[in-house]
Chain A
Amino acid sequence: MLVVLVLCLLFAFFAPRLYRLLGRYVAIPMAILPFGIFVYLLSFFPEVLRGSYIIQLYKWVPALGINLQFRLDGLSLLFGLLITFFGGLIMVYAAGYLKDNPLLGRFYLYLTLFMAAMLGMVTSDNLFCLFLFWEITSITSYLLIGFDNKNVKARSSAWQALLVTGMGGLALMASFILINLATGSYTFTELLAQNTSFSGHSYFAPALILLFLGCFTKSAQFPFHFWLPNAMAAPTPVSAYLHSATMVKAGIYLLARMSPVFAGADAWGYTLVVIGGCTALLGAFLALQHTDMKAILAYTTISALGQMVMMLGLGTTVALKAMLVFLLAHALYKGTMFLAAGAVDHCTGTRDITRLNGLARLMPVTALAATLAALSMAGLMPFFGFIGKELLYEAALSSKIYVWLVFGLTFLTGIVYVAVAVVLSFGIFWNKVKHPTKLEHAPGYMLYLPPFILGFLGVAFGLAPKIAVTPILERAVQSISRGELVELELALWHGFTKELGLSVLTIILGLLLYKALKFVQSRYAILNPVYNLGPERLYHKAFDGFLVFAKKLTMVLQNGNLRRYIIYLILFFSALMFYVLWHDTPHILFASRVVIIQELPFHDVVIFVLVSSALFYLLGTRSRLTSIVVMGLVGYSAALIYIMFGAPDVAATQFLIETLTVVIFVLLLHKLPAFIYLSHQFKKYNYIAISILFGTVMTYTMLVVQDHTIESELKTYYGQTSLLEAHGRNIVNVILVDFRALDTLGEITVLAVAALGVFALLRMQPEKGEKP
């Protein structure tokens, strides 16, 4: 797996260069890559079908349990095949869709990167490995939504998607850590192998809630659904790939993976059913309201995701089967419809269904593909969607909790799907009008072939489910139902059953809803006040509030007055020290100190007098030059003290730094205005008080440290090994460059950054009217 991912990365980062070399033929290598991986994954097919799974381990941080461990079982393989096959088609489609875009190379970079992350995510076995790929999908999604970076709406939508899914990602990491703490396992394989559920553990509830947060934000479940319709600002290939077929199903994937671990708990089932049900209904409800093709598709996607979550919540074998079959069917038809919608948008310049009419004659293949997909979506007889719908009804009717609610929701969304399918196929392509919409240009084969292939697969899978999809789906169900072997029988014809009757009823009611659509849409205006209270509004409020808060905080803490920065630092440090000293007050024997003071050698007294008189002089002086020189005097005195205690290295450094400080100050001096007291005299006393406070705290701390010396073996260790192992007699330097070299590396990096910061600060030209 790692080889595949590295290959993807290589292809991704060479894409812009390839684009420069090949022009728009860059699509050829970029499409060969996913199809190649598809074939590679197929080679694991026989082994997975035998019921075993493949594990590949690459060590990364074994001490923390973070490894690149990959696991390929039924579920992973299903997702992997879906991702790569879709990816290949999308690569081809994108070349047609973004034909004239000069940034096509960059687009392929993002898209391939996303594909790699997605592949890594569905195959990773290690929890933290999964988290890594999960976050990469969020970031690439952000880049892809904001691909049209000159468009304000695209940018803000990208932000929104990143913030919402990023927040979920953080929650997910916390959840993984809790799961790891509670069960001690780092991988899914270990988690699944543990027979005892950890539902009794005190970390169970928080882990579950955080997991839900992560999955629901990623899969656009209510109340986080709002980012998905906004994400439709992305180019259509992206919407089709990320926001209907793959990335939004990442949450579903993770829930499915985790379901054997959590499924025993009541909280799991009820939460998923309620949230999934809400989302399914809400998505279906809002889909009817819109006239933009992509918006309609986005809301039906949300609704379908809700259904999948609901099925996961039911947790019975038939529900899991239904979930997976529906997932596959949905990916096929929704992908097709998105691609067809993109082709229509590209050729006519609009996506508004009220302005699109009778396009079938002008773009026949696209029309055919869209119709095949729509029929699958509506759940008509020979299509794969029909099998999915039958199974959904069966699962809903056999539900153990809220039977009528679950079934009612499934039925209602089914009706809406029929209506939407008719709108998007008949309404746009086939209805007879006198003036069909004019095309700006005919669709190229790159625009109509990919949706056609997908649409055709929907029929093929429906006609021959036994050969095409049953084996892999069977293994996928097996891998999410605690390894029980399940028989999956997919067939078009089950005889005259309850479900068949319900399907027919759904279609009839759906057609009626289509007829009444105009009326329904005219009534939606009543609901507008409700939307103002929705979660999206909340998001915007929180976002703006955050910005205002950050600005205010910065105004208080960093208002440009450098003195204040130092004061905050000192006060905060003193408060911390106070807190620590308050909590466990150490004993200091002041009597022994007095003795030490009496025995003070003469040169110490001289330095003390020097420093303190210099400091008193400093308080009174008004000349900058004088104060700098006096400060230098204080610094040199400190260096003298170092020498007396036998630390020549430190003393030398101190001398040099003092010299440099004085020189730098002198360089800057002539640029500063004359020294004037602007603030009130009272402020000066404030500063004096703060200085005395800090000095007291530091002195006290020093005394405490001296009284409680920690015996450490480090000193002797360094002393012994310095010459023998590190070939140096100067222990200070050996520690710096050998024993603790990593620390030094960090310090010099900080120095470099600080120098660049000084450069940036001094060279930044303040704009007109702004504070420097």
Chain B
Amino acid sequence: MRTLIFATAIRILTPVFLVFSIYILLRGHNHPGGGFIGGLIGSIAFVFHTLAHGTKQTNKSYFNLTFYKFDKKPDHGKFRHALRLLRKNIVRNKNEKPVFIWNYYLLRLRPTYLMATGLLVAVFSGSVGLFTGKPFMAAYWLNAKIPLIGSLGTPLLFDTGVYLLVLGMVLKMVFTMSKD
């Protein structure tokens, strides 16, 4: 599976897939699509990436956020040190070895957390209705209309929850299975 063409193509295509999946999620209310399909498309992006590059690489490139931290040089002031940190974090030089003091996995976006977040978001969107005195899961719509998305309301939030959960679920399964 790890042919060069496939691997390279996937590297470029994965972000496209992801954007497309979010587009599918958002258009779901008026056209074919929705959270479930969107989540599946998003997860397929990662699954193909895993097929091409392996679990570790996928984890590294999409689910971990790394921050570089350096010790303060004695002749630098606080502000200058902060500026340097900012620069080093934005323009990353592969040759310069950073000193990791902060946890490497600063942002652990593990699939289980995605699942949990999705479930929480879904439940929360349902309980918004409770505050307005309606039963659980009653929809609550804002008046605002946004060009691409349409009207904003708790069903969209619910759909986002479904999206996150499906994404997390498939990733969890695939990552578990592809590890040995």
Contacts and interface: CB of A to CB of B under 8 A. Distances in A.
A50 B47 CA distance: 75
Given A664-B173, A667-B178, A729-B30, A755 B123 contact: no
Contact of B180 (A671, A748, A751, A754): A671
B127 to A, nearest CB: 11
A371 B86 CA distance: 80
A752 B43 contact: no
A660 B174 CA distance: 9
Interface string A504-528: 0000000000000000000000000
A754 B111 CA distance: 14
Given A656-B44, A727-B151, A742-B137, A737 B159 contact: yes
B123 to A, nearest CB: 7
Contacts of A759: 112, 172-173, 176
Interface string A650-677: 0011001101100110111001000000
A726 B139 contact: yes
Interface in A725-750: 726-730, 732-734, 736-738, 741-742, 744-745, 748-749
Interface stretch (B31-39, B62-70, B89-97): B31-39
B139 to A, nearest CB: 5
Nearest to B136: A742
Contacts of A583: none
Interface in B50-93: 50-51
Contacts, number: 141
A737 B161 CA distance: 10
A649 interface: yes
B44 A762 contact: no
Contacts of B161: 748
B169 A751 contact: yes
A763 B176 contact: yes
B155 A734 contact: yes
A752 B51 contact: no
Given A730-B33, A758-B172, A741 B165 contact: no
A635 to B, nearest CB: 14
Contacts of B43: 660
Contacts of B126: 741-742, 745
A184 interface: no
Interface size class of B (residues with CB under 8 A): 35 or more
B177 A734 contact: no
B119 A741 contact: no
A766 to B, nearest CB: 15
A150 to B, nearest CB: 33
Contacts of B44: 656, 659-660, 663
A388 B63 CA distance: 74
Contact of A736 (B31, B34, B111): B34
Contact of A745 (B29, B123, B178): B123
Contacts of A653: 36-37, 40
B155 A741 contact: yes
A759 B169 CA distance: 10
A529 B45 CA distance: 73
A667 B179 CA distance: 10
Interface string B146-164: 0000110101101101100
B169 A741 contact: no
Contacts of B169: 751-752, 754-755
Interface residues of A, number: 40
B115 interface: yes
B41 interface: yes
A653 B162 CA distance: 14
Given A726-B139, A730-B32, A762-B176, A660 B165 contact: no
B29 A728 contact: yes
A738 B28 CA distance: 12
B29 A730 contact: yes
A405 B141 CA distance: 75
Contacts of A730: 28-34
A727 B1 CA distance: 45
Contacts of B180: 671
Nearest to B161: A748
Main secondary structure of the interface of A (DSSP, over half): helix
A624 to B, nearest CB: 15
A264 interface: no
A733 B41 contact: no
Interface in A714-733: 726-730, 732-733
Contact of A656 (B35, B37, B150, B172): B37
A648 interface: yes
A727 B29 contact: yes
B166 interface: yes
Nearest to B41: A656
A751 B166 contact: yes
A727 B150 contact: yes
B162 A744 contact: yes
Interface string B4-15: 000000000000
Contacts of A749: 119
Given A656-B40, A730-B30, A733-B34, A752 B119 contact: yes
A667 B51 contact: yes
Contacts of B22: none
B151 A733 contact: no
Contacts of B111: 755
Nearest to A659: B44
A734 B153 CA distance: 12
A727 B153 contact: yes
B28 to A, nearest CB: 5
A737 B121 CA distance: 13
B121 to A, nearest CB: 10
A653 B111 CA distance: 21
Interface in B104-129: 111-112, 115-116, 118-119, 122-123, 126
A368 to B, nearest CB: 59
A474 to B, nearest CB: 46
A729 B176 contact: no
A660 B162 contact: no
B122 A660 contact: no
Contacts of A659: 44
Given A730-B31, A752-B115, A660 B40 contact: yes
A748 B112 CA distance: 14
Contacts of A649: 32-34, 37
B31 A729 contact: yes
Contact of A755 (B139, B153, B162, B172): B172
A744 B174 CA distance: 23
Given A726-B139, A730-B28, A751-B169, A664 B33 contact: no
B158 A741 contact: yes
Interface string A475-517: 0000000000000000000000000000000000000000000
A270 B21 CA distance: 73
B116 to A, nearest CB: 8
A723 to B, nearest CB: 9
A738 B112 CA distance: 26
Contacts of A733: 28-29, 33-34, 159
B30 A745 contact: no
Given A737-B158, A752-B118, 17 more contacts: A649-B32, A652-B33, A656-B40, A656-B41, A663-B51, A664-B173, A667-B51, A667-B177, A667-B178, A668-B177, A727-B29, A728-B30, A733-B28, A737-B159, A741-B137, A742-B126, A755-B111
Closest 3 CB pairs of A and B: A728-B29, A656-B40, A648-B32
16 contacts: A659-B44, A660-B40, A666-B1, A726-B139, A728-B30, A730-B29, A732-B34, A737-B28, A737-B34, A738-B139, A741-B139, A742-B137, A744-B122, A745-B122, A745-B123, A748-B161
Interface of A: 648-649, 652-653, 656-657, 659-660, 663-664, 666-668, 671, 726-730, 732-734, 736-738, 741-742, 744-745, 748-749, 751-752, 754-756, 758-759, 762-763
